[in-house]
């Protein structure tokens, strides 16, 4: 299992690097200011506040370019608008020292920069995932590829697909997979057999298949892998490539864990990686005769339930309350989820710990950062969940984004614009665009 990961990581690390934040910083440190300016500038459309800040300082101190206080002020204001917190003092000082002509020039330049970074300056309310999805009525698990089974490989595949009016999956495309190309065909074959409830309308959906051998995940091996390839250090330094791969590994860990997580956005980013939340915990049991349904409870140190955070009792439930009842076993959390379905009343209550984790232990956190730092792969992964990235990729003539954005527009009734994007994707030889056009026209 570890050997498969090592091969994958090695291939990715030695692949050609895209322009990203870390490369721009290295160019700046080596006083290759022309390259630094070029690469920092390429990150402005992605809402990268640090790139805006660094471009401001380059104009302020004349690093590779003539000193330009108006441009410096414009970039500092853009950085502040994007969320940079170290700009107030320098903006105030510049505004006090510049004359009216320079201030007017700064305002003009700021308008231009705001247009470049416009998707990150507008109120964000659009969420593609918010559309109500039809419920699946037939789902078959994918077959485990023989080669993957023999090598002990585990992984996941995330797919985007089109469902027709009758709930039949018509076409699908792999969005993200780890390890790459190991489980793709298995996932695609399984998805083609799925059926959804008939809604009378075509819809674009996403789903993820997780591949596990039902063996305990070796967290120590994952930590060693991350350390050997300096993924955490590289991610902290701003390398989009390291951030992207770290996100993939965290996504892999998430598919294998047997506990629930609640993300606390106020928890800080740690300088040291801690994967303890993914380790297997000691079993905890709930001998609650008559309990049927779902509940989230808080327990005391001895396992006694002291607070009901959420309850959803089934009609078959015979307990009045869970307060005062006791979980048994070695407790490693103070919050647990309990579940017993009506058709499994003879089985034990399923008890799962709920852990509070920082955003930095999620794949989405690092994929978002990688996207901001220039990773096209990360941008394509987050685009289906964040329309801002879809807009950006379409503007950059990304064939995959154009095909799926065009399809969505067609489904929403914007026929002319949607067809134009599909045709553009076809012209770029993005094969799924042909099938999407056939199905939607």
Q: CA–CA distance from 101 to each of 70, 106, 111, 260 (Å)?
A: 9, 9, 16, 58
8 Å CB contact between 430 and 403 = yes
End of a domain among 104, 120, 136?
A: 120
pLDDT number for residue 18: 55
Residue 303: the pLDDT is: 94
Together in a domain, 8 and 101? no
The reply to whether 95 and 75 lie within a common domain is yes
Find the CATH number of the domain harbouring 114. Answer: 1.25.40.10
- Please indicate, yes or no, if residue 392 is contained in any of the structural domains: no
Residue given tokens 């322009």 in the structure block: 19
Q: Report the domain count for the chain.
A: 4
CA angle 46, 47, 49 (to 5 degrees): 130
Q: Which range of residues forms the domain containing residue 367?
A: 1-17+126-264+358-385
Indicate if 51 and 133 belong to the same structural domain.
no
Q: Is residue 277 part of a domain?
A: no
Give the model's pLDDT for residue 261: 84
Rounded to whole angstroms, how far apart are CA atoms 363 and 248?
Answer: 6
Long-range Cβ contact pairs of 363-367 (< 8 A, separation 24 or more): 363/247, 363/248, 363/250, 363/251, 363/254, 364/247, 365/247, 366/235, 366/243, 366/244, 366/246, 366/247, 366/250, 367/243, 367/244, 367/247
Q: Return the pLDDT at 250.
A: 93
CB-CB contact of 145 with 186 (8 Å): yes
Any domain includes 179:
yes
Distance CA 70, CA 40 (A): 18
**Same structural domain for residues 134 and 258?**
yes
**For the chain, what's the residue count?**
441
**The predicted structure's pLDDT at residue 341:** 87
Same domain, residue pair 368 and 414: no
pLDDT reported for residue 125: 55
Q: Assess whether 297 and 220 both reside in one domain.
A: no
pLDDT digit string (tens) for the chain, length 441 residues: 333 333 344 334 434 445 679 889 999 999 999 999 999 999 999 999 999 999 999 999 999 999 999 999 999 999 999 999 999 999 999 999 999 999 999 999 999 999 999 999 987 655 555 556 788 888 889 999 999 999 888 999 999 999 999 999 999 999 999 998 999 999 999 999 999 999 999 999 999 999 988 776 788 888 988 999 999 999 999 999 999 999 999 999 888 777 788 899 999 988 889 998 888 888 899 999 899 999 999 999 999 999 999 999 999 999 989 999 999 999 989 999 999 988 877 788 999 999 889 999 999 999 999 999 999 999 999 999 899 999 999 999 999 999 999 999 999 999 999 999 999 999 999 999 999 999 998
Those residues whose C-beta lies under 8 Å from the C-beta of residue 156, and which sit 6 or more positions away, are 176, 177, 178, 183, 208, 209, 210, 211, 251, 252, 255
Q: Running DSSP on this structure, what letter comes out for residue 86?
A: S
Cβ neighbours of residue 6 under 8 Å, at least 6 residues apart? Answer: 225, 228
Flag whether 193 is in a domain.
yes
236 and 365 together in one domain: yes
152 and 235 in a single domain? The answer is yes
Q: Which residues contact 317 (CB under 8 A, 6 or more apart)?
A: 290, 291, 292, 293
Asked, for residue 333, whether it belongs to a domain, the answer is yes
Task: Count the Cβ atoms, other than its own, within 10 Å of residue 90.
Answer: 18
CB 269 within 8 A of CB 357: no
381 and 259, same domain (yes or no)? yes
Domain shared by 192 and 257, yes or no: yes
Q: Rounded to an integer, what distance in angstroms lies between the CA atom of residue 95 and that of residue 313? A: 62
Within-domain flag for 137: yes
Residue 347 lies in a domain: yes
Q: Give domain status of residue 276, yes or no.
A: no
Q: Give the CB-side neighbour count of residue 322, counting CA atoms within 13 A.
A: 32
Report which DSSP code applies to 134: P
**Residue 198 shares a structural domain with residue 139:** yes
Angle (deg, nearest 10), helices 399-411 and 387-395: 120
Tell me the C-alpha distance between 98 and 403, whole Å: 48
Look at residues 72, 98, 120 and tell me which one is the last residue of a structural domain.
Answer: 120
Regarding whether 233 and 159 lie in a shared domain, the answer is yes
Task: Find the CATH number of the domain harbouring 219.
Answer: 3.30.2420.10
| pLDDT of res. 427 | 97
């Amino acid at each position: 299992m570890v050997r498969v990961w090592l091969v994958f990581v090695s291939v990715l690390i030695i692949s050609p690097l895209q322009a990203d934040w870390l490369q721009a910083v290295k160019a700046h440190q080596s006083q290759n200011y022309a390259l630094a300016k070029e690469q920092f500038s390429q990150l402005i459309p992605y809402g990268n506040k640090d790139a805006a800040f660094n471009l401001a300082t380059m104009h302020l101190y004349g690093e590779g370019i003539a000193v330009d206080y108006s441009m410096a002020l414009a970039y500092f204001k853009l950085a502040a608008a994007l969320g940079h917190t170290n700009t107030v003092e320098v903006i105030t000082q510049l505004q006090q020292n510049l004359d009216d002509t320079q201030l007017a020039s700064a305002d003009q330049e700021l308008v231009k920069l705001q247009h470049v970074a416009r998707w990150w300056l507008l109120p964000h309310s659009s969420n593609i995932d918010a559309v109500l999805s039809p419920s699946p009525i037939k789902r078959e698990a994918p077959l485990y590829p023989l080669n993957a089974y023999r090598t002990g490989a585990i992984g996941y595949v995330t797919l985007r697909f089109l469902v027709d009016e009758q709930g039949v999956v018509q076409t699908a495309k792999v969005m993200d997979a780890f390890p790459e190309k190991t489980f793709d065909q298995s996932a695609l074959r399984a998805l083609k057999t799925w059926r959804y409830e008939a809604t009378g309308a075509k819809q674009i959906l996403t789903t993820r298949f997780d591949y596990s051998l039902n063996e305990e995940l070796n967290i120590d091996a994952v930590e060693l892998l991350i350390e050997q390839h300096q993924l955490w250090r590289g991610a902290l330094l701003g390398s989009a490539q390291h951030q992207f791969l770290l996100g993939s590994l965290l996504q892999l860990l998430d598919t294998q864990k047997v506990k629930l997580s609640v993300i606390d956005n106020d928890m800080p980013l740690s300088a040291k990686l801690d994967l303890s939340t993914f380790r297997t915990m000691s079993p905890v049991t709930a001998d609650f005769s008559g309990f049927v349904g779902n509940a989230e409870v808080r327990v005391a140190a001895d396992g006694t339930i002291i607070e009901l955070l959420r309850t959803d009792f089934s009609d078959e439930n015979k307990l009045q309350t869970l307060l005062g009842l006791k979980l048994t076993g070695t407790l490693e959390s103070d919050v647990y989820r309990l579940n017993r379905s009506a058709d499994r009343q003879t089985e034990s209550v399923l008890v799962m710990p709920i852990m509070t984790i920082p955003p930095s232990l999620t794949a989405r956190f690092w994929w978002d950062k990688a996207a901001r730092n220039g990773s096209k792969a990360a941008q394509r992964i987050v685009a289906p969940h964040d329309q801002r990235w879809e807009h950006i990729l379409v503007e950059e003539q990304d064939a995959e984004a154009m095909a799926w954005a065009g399809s969505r527009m067609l489904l929403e009734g914007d026929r002319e614009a949607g067809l134009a994007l599909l045709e553009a994707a076809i012209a770029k030889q993005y094969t799924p665009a042909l099938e999407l056009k056939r199905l939607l026209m």
